[in-house]
């Protein structure tokens, strides 16, 4: 598409020199200037485009959501069910710990609950009988109070037994290690047969659906940064650029580096990016519509920058004033010197002498 645009522009720009028209050099009696052929890859157009600029950043990609799964109960690891790199869903079983001792405690607690329930039932029936006898005057008030106290104690014992059973059930459930989030297992620290202590890390799971770029920006640039600003960056090993937005800005400056940490949210629905990669880019703090050309088109060998432009089928060297440079697209603003649609030479074609006629490939641009 770019080639179609610049070829169309070439036709318009150099249409002044058509077949049948006299060569200016021949009219003056001078020798005809030879035609120079340049490749299409050495031609570009000065076009109005959006240029962005801002402070450079660098940092590493980190998962926004990460879970470190730790042992909530000590004991031998009976079996593991997840490997490093494996995708798991929330609630999936990652490992089982030996539950022999815990299960014995659970069965004992369950039996204690049944015993406490039976004791409470007996105490409540005795309280009801004592209450009827006391109303009839056949039982001393002291014996009624004793029956009521026994029933209250039995309720307390049942509540305590049920609490112990709930604790035993929780411990029994903790022997089955489950994934707290959906994601990929990045680390597995335990194998079958290992004896783990309470709090020991067993697995680490990361959610790659959304990453965070932790980067540093010079403190002098902090006034230009706002939450929500776009960030464009490149990642080692990838041949394309990525975009995120500033999520948070650290309120303090690192005294050792004079840098401020920023945290950039990066959508990663396809999970093409992975955590730990190094990234470089910039925060797009400024954006404007302006005439832009590739930086490689600017001849800066002299005292002032030049563009080698085709005008009327011949090369002209035009001084220009540069503006904003968009590092993400490697374009530079031309504040003055050329107009939108002008045809500009690139690369080796910049060596063509001023005034030379130009042919692009097999097409004579003087026609």
pLDDT of residue 276: 84
How far does CA 62 lie from the centroid of its chain? 7
Task: Give the pLDDT score at 33.
Answer: 60
Spatial distance between the Cα atoms of 223 and 219, rounded to a whole number of angstroms: 8
The reported pLDDT for the residue numbered 10 is 39
Task: Report the pLDDT value the prediction gives residue 362, as an integer from 0 to 100.
Answer: 56
Q: Are 31 and 254 in contact (CB under 8 A)?
A: no
Q: Is 208 left (phi over 0), alpha (psi -120 to 50) or beta?
A: alpha
Q: What pLDDT sits at residue 98? A: 93
Handedness of CA 97, 98, 100, 105 (dihedral sign): negative
Burial readout 306-345 (b: 16 or more C-beta within 10 A, e: otherwise): bbbbbeebbbebbebebbbbbbbbebbbbeebbeebbbbb
* CA–CA distance, 17 with 363 (Å, rounded to integer): 13
> Based on the number of CB atoms within 10 Å of its own CB, is 113 exposed (0-12), middle (13-18) or buried (19 or more)?
buried
Q: What is the pTM of this model?
A: 0.58
CATH numbers and ranges of domains, the chain: 2-51+288-364 (2.40.420.20), 56-65+208-286 (2.40.30.170), 99-174 (1.10.287)
- Tokens 């004033």: give the residue: 321
CA angle 48, 49, 50 (to 5 degrees): 140
- Count other C-beta atoms under 10 Å from residue 13's C-beta: 19
**DSSP summary character for residue 85:** T
Percentages helix, strand, coil for the chain (3-state, rounded to 5) are: 30, 40, 30
* pLDDT value for 27: 46
Q: How far apart are CA 67 and CA 182, in angstroms?
A: 10
C-alpha 195/C-alpha 78 separation (Å) is 9
Q: What is the pLDDT along the chain (367 residues), one digit of tens a residue?
A: 344 343 333 333 333 333 334 444 444 444 556 788 877 888 888 888 877 777 878 888 888 888 999 999 999 999 999 999 899 999 999 999 999 988 999 999 999 999 999 999 999 999 898 888 888 888 888 888 898 899 999 999 999 999 999 999 999 999 999 999 998 999 999 999 999 999 999 999 998 888 888 888 888 888 888 888 888 888 877 878 888 899 899 888 888 888 889 899 888 877 788 888 888 888 877 777 888 888 888 888 878 898 888 888 888 888 988 887 876 677 888 888 888 888 888 888 788 888 888 877 655 444 4
């Amino acid at each position: 598409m770019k080639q179609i645009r610049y070829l169309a522009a070439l036709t318009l720009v150099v249409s002044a020199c058509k077949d049948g028209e006299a060569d200016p050099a021949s009219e003056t009696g001078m020798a005809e200037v030879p035609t120079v052929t340049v490749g299409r890859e050495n031609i570009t157009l000065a076009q109005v485009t959006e240029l962005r600029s801002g402070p450079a950043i660098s940092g590493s990609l980190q998962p926004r959501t990460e879970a470190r799964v730790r042992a909530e109960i000590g004991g031998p690891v009976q079996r593991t069910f997840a490997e490093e790199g494996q995708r798991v869903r929330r609630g999936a079983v990652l490992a089982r710990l030996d539950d022999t001792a815990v299960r014995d405690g659970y069965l004992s607690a369950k039996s204690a609950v049944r015993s406490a329930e039976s004791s409470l039932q007996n105490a409540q029936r005795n309280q009801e009988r004592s209450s009827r006898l006391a109303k009839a005057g056949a039982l001393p008030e002291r014996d009624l109070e004793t029956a009521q106290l026994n029933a209250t104690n039995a309720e307390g014992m049942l509540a305590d037994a049920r609490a112990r059973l709930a604790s035993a059930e929780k411990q029994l459930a903790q022997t089955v290690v489950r994934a707290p989030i959906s994601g990929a297992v990045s680390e597995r620290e335990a194998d079958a047969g290992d004896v783990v202590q309470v709090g020991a890390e067993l697995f680490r799971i990361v959610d790659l659906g959304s990453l965070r770029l932790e980067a540093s920006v010079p403190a002098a640039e902090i006034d230009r940064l706002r939450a929500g600003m776009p960030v464009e960056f490149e990642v080692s090993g990838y041949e394309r650029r990525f975009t995120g937005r500033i999520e948070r800005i650290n309120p303090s400056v690192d005294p050792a580096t004079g840098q401020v940490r920023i945290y950039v949210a990066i959508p990663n629905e396809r999970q093409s990016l992975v955590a730990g990669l190094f990234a470089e880019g910039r925060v797009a703090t400024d954006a404007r519509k302006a005439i832009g050309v590739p930086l490689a088109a600017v001849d800066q060998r002299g005292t002032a920058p030049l563009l080698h432009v085709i005008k009327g089928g011949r090369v002209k060297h035009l001084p220009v004033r540069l503006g904003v440079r968009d590092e993400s697209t490697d374009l530079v603003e031309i504040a003055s010197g050329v107009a939108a649609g002008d045809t500009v030479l690139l690369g080796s074609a910049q060596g063509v002498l001023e005034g030379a006629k130009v042919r692009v490939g097999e097409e004579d641009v003087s026609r």
